[in-house]
């Protein structure tokens, strides 16, 4: 009994602690379970958050796409004025390559005067797509003699694609050209898969095999591949950062799996191809293979050779380390590694490999996607866009802007400014710091075709629009236009160029002088303008009033407030070259004002046209008045201060006006042919004298620029209300071609002269007397022979003359 009791007691003691232990275990298990559940809930919530992060950006707006600005296209059609130099320049700007086979886009072959061009095509809008095609074109006598294409042109016009002139970039400073997967060459995709992620099409975002291989390679010293998949690299670039932490790596792995659950391999690959960072262009990053192709090779992605595609793929590992411009040897070695990877997986054969590794790098010296080579024009485009669009839309929405820039004209302007300003700077110490501006437009459309407004480096100060300088004699044509429009003057009327004194409102006096300090007395109106006499301009301007002068300028499109003091008549008005371009555009088009503009169309990223600039033309000057003014401006070139412009060809009938300000601080010339209206300013930014006049400073630049273009003559249609008469020069009276001072000039029909010169009257009377005597003799002969005298004739010379005065005057006008 004792033994059993003892055993029982011992058993009871040993079993006492088992219950609390079990309870503690249960509590611990419960807590652990709760922790696990909470962790799973938190993990689930975190995964949901990550999932939303992934889908919101992937399905939304993935990138801020910069707006891209292009020139106008080159229109090719039979009869178009295009020469070999223009075609050559355009192809060079587009980076077309000479190739006898011309079997791929971006290639051409020239045989004599015949071109075979394999175009790249261009999308101008969703409904206006110029397809890739082969063009056969023959040029003769600076015109297109014939043009054929593999793609029919409904209107007979084929467009060679526009030239890229720059972009408007997002605040992130990321630059990219988004390409679709079918635009990416298959060898590039093969190179990427072989080098970065050979199991891309098998794994689900994370490759355990790849991670293990990376670890093994690190231990063994090899570095053929990294452990991250393409999907993980996309996650890192697209959503995360490059921090080397476990948290970032864990997020990367989870997000990669989630991304692959939602989207196809093709969608992921296409996004990677457009996201990957491949270098730096100043303060802008080069993202995506589409833009990298242009940045490093000046060619579209689909025109790259196999070795060039491999080089870009190799740069994905380290754009700085393998930058071909800075580290060509490292870049080439990395390229060859990529080619070896392709050979190893069977993407290329041995012959392709051997050929590719022998190729030079062929990196472009100056990338087309670098600094804009036409920054002044691009600046004006941006200013015009900012008047209509929000800045964020311009920076982020991938707009395509087709501008009015003509690259041929722009290059001509650049060369003219560089050449002639260089000569002028070397010619005088006063001109050492000389600057210039040039603006040029198509007068009929108002399309700006060329702008030079800054020095070698664009600083944001564009003299073409920002430099408000006194314009001098450029405004004198407005004075003479007003006089002609009034009917008080015609082109042969005398104007007084004797000394003049103008009483000013403050009691002082103004005594303007001619530049040569000589007085010329009465001179013909055309001479006063052609020789740019100041005294005659002031006298004539004051006759009609400074207020009238200011209203005329506003009528011509000048928006600046014009001061109403007399010196404004001689150009003491601060205006820009662009302002003066608008004024002379009116003169060049028969009196029609079309606002100068730099944009043709704006297209959004879906190909929809947001803006199309149409002709907004308004009548500014009566056509008869403009016709006379144009004639007077042509005399400036034929016989006046711009006579040097005759070197361009007397048959062009050029028109224009020189301008010089006080102390020779500013030199101007504004003028036009039939197809270009152009303004040149030359001066110093500090407004110090330059010792040059409009004829010696600005005109040489203008001539050099226009000489590089294909000009058409000024041939304005004669409007109704104009009659051509012989007038006596410097009196404006009717004359006869046999008189010494007679000039055959256009006159307003509403204001025909009522007086005739003494020479013309004498000739008229002699001729009329001879006719009357002959008629009297004939009548006497008929009377002697008993013949009837015709109706309306009479022999009674004693009867008063019943001829109506108006009838007599009209007959006299016809005679004169």
Please write the tens of the pLDDT for every residue from 648-702: 999 999 999 999 999 999 999 999 999 999 999 999 999 999 999 999 999 999 9
pLDDT at 812: 63
- Which residues are CB-contacts of 310 (< 8 A; sequence separation ≥ 6)? 187, 191, 335, 338, 339, 342, 356
CB 269 within 8 A of CB 230: yes
Give the lowest-confidence range in 255-269, 348-362, 645-659, 702-716. 255-269
Map residue 366 onto helix, strand or coil: coil
Per-residue pLDDT tens over the stretch 453-488: 987 678 889 999 999 999 999 999 999 999 999 999
Q: Say whether 473 is catalytic.
A: yes
CB 475 within 8 A of CB 552: no
Out of 207, 473, 536, 757, which one is annotated catalytic? 473
Overall average pLDDT of the 265-286 stretch: 94
- 572: nearest Cα among 506, 489, 518, 510: 510
- Whole-number Å distance between alpha carbons of 231 and 275: 12
Confidence of residue 108 (pLDDT cuts 50, 70, 90): very high
Out of 196, 275, 384, 485, which one is annotated catalytic? 196
Confidence of residue 793 (pLDDT cuts 50, 70, 90): very low
| Average pLDDT in the chain | 89
Give the lowest-confidence range in 296-300, 366-370, 627-631. 366-370
Per-residue pLDDT tens over the stretch 161-184: 999 999 988 888 889 999 999 999
CB 701 within 8 A of CB 416: yes
Per-residue pLDDT tens over the stretch 141-166: 999 999 999 999 888 899 999 999 99
pTM of the full predicted structure?
0.87
Q: For residue 734, what is the DSSP state?
A: B
Per-residue pLDDT tens over the stretch 214-228: 556 655 555 444 568
DSSP H helices in 246-305: 246-262, 265-275, 289-297
């Amino acid at each position: 009994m004792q033994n059993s009791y003892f055993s029982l007691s011992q058993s009871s003691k040993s079993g006492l602690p088992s219950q609390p232990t079990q309870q503690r275990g249960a509590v611990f298990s419960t807590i652990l379970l709760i922790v696990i559940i909470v962790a799973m809930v938190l993990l689930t919530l975190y995964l949901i958050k990550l999932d939303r992060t992934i889908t919101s950006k992937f399905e939304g707006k993935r990138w801020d796409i910069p707006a891209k600005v292009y020139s106008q296209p080159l229109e090719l059609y039979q009869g178009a004025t295009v020469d070999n130099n223009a075609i050559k320049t355009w192809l060079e700007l587009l980076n077309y390559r000479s190739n006898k086979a011309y079997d791929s886009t971006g290639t051409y072959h020239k045989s004599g005067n015949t071109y075979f061009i394999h175009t790249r095509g261009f999308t101008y809008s969703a409904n206006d797509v110029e397809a890739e095609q082969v063009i056969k074109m023959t040029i003769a006598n600076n015109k297109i003699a014939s043009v054929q294409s593999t793609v029919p042109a409904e209107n007979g016009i084929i467009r060679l694609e526009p030239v890229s002139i720059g972009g408007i970039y997002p605040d992130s400073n990321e630059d990219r050209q988004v390409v679709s997967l079918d635009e990416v060459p298959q060898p590039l995709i093969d190179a990427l898969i072989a080098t970065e992620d050979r199991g891309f099409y098998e794994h689900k975002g994370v490759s355990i095999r790849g991670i293990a291989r990376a670890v093994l390679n690190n231990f063994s010293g090899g570095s053929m591949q990294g452990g991250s998949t393409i999907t993980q690299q996309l996650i890192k670039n697209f959503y995360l950062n490059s921090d080397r932490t476990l948290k970032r790596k864990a997020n990367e792995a989870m997000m990669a799996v989630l991304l692959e659950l939602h989207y196809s391999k093709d969608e992921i690959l296409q996004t990677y191809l457009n996201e990957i960072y491949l270098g730096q262009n100043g303060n802008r990053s080069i993202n995506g293979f589409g833009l990298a192709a242009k940045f490093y090779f000046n060619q579209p992605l689909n025109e790259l050779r196999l070795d060039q595609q491999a080089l870009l793929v190799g740069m994905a590992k380290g754009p700085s380390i393998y930058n071909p411009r800075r580290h060509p040897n490292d870049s080439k070695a990395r390229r060859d590694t990529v080619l070896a990877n392709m050979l190893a997986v069977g993407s290329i054969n041995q012959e392709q490999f051997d050929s590719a590794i022998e190729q030079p790098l062929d990196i472009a010296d100056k990338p087309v996607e670098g600094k804009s080579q036409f920054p002044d024009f691009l600046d004006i485009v941006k200013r015009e866009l900012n008047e209509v669009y929000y800045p964020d839309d311009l920076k982020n929405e991938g707009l395509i802007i087709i501008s009015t820039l003509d690259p041929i004209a722009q290059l001509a302007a650049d060369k003219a400014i560089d050449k002639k300003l260089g000569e002028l700077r070397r010619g005088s110490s006063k001109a050492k710091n000389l600057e210039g501006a040039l603006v040029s437009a198509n007068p009929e459309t108002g399309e700006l075709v060329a702008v030079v407004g800054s020095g070698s480096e664009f600083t944001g100060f564009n003299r073409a629009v920002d430099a408000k300088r006194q314009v001098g004699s450029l405004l004198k044509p407005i004075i003479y236009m007003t006089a002609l429009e009034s009917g008080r003057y015609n082109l042969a009327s005398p104007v007084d160029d004797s000394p003049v004194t103008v009483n000013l409102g403050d009691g002082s006096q103004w005594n303007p002088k001619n530049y040569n300090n000589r007085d010329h007395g009465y001179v013909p109106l055309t001479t006063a303008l052609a020789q740019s006499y100041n005294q005659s301009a002031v006298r004539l301007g004051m006759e009609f009033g400074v207020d009238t002068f200011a209203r005329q300028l506003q009528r011509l499109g000048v928006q600046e407030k014009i001061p109403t003091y007399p010196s404004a008549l001689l150009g003491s008005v601060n205006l820009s070259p662009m302002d003066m371009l608008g004024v002379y555009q009116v003169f060049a088009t028969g009196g029609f004002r079309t606002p100068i503009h730099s944009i043709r169309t704006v297209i959004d990223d879906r190909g929809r046209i947001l803006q199309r600039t149409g002709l907004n033309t308004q009548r500014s000057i009566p056509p008869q008045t403009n016709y006379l003014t144009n004639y007077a401006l042509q005399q400036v070139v034929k016989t006046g201060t711009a006579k040097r412009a005759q070197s361009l060809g007397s048959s062009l009938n050029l028109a224009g006006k020189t301008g010089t300000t006080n102390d020779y601080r500013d030199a101007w010339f504004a003028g036009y042919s039939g197809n270009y209206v152009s303004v040149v300013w030359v001066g110093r930014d500090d407004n110090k004298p330059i010792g040059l006049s409009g004829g010696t400073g600005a005109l040489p630049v203008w001539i050099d620029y226009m000489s590089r273009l294909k000009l058409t003559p000024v041939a304005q249609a004669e409007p109704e209300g104009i009659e051509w008469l012989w007038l006596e020069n410097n009196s404006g009276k009717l004359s006869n071609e046999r008189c010494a001072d007679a000039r055959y000039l256009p006159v307003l029909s509403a204001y025909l002269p009522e007086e005739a010169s003494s020479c013309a009257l004498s000739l008229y009377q002699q001729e009329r007397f001879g006719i009357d005597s002959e008629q009297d003799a004939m009548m006497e002969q008929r009377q002697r022979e008993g013949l009837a005298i015709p109706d309306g004739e009479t022999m009674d010379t004693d009867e008063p003359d019943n001829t109506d005065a108006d009838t007599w005057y009209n007959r006299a006008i016809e005679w004169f």
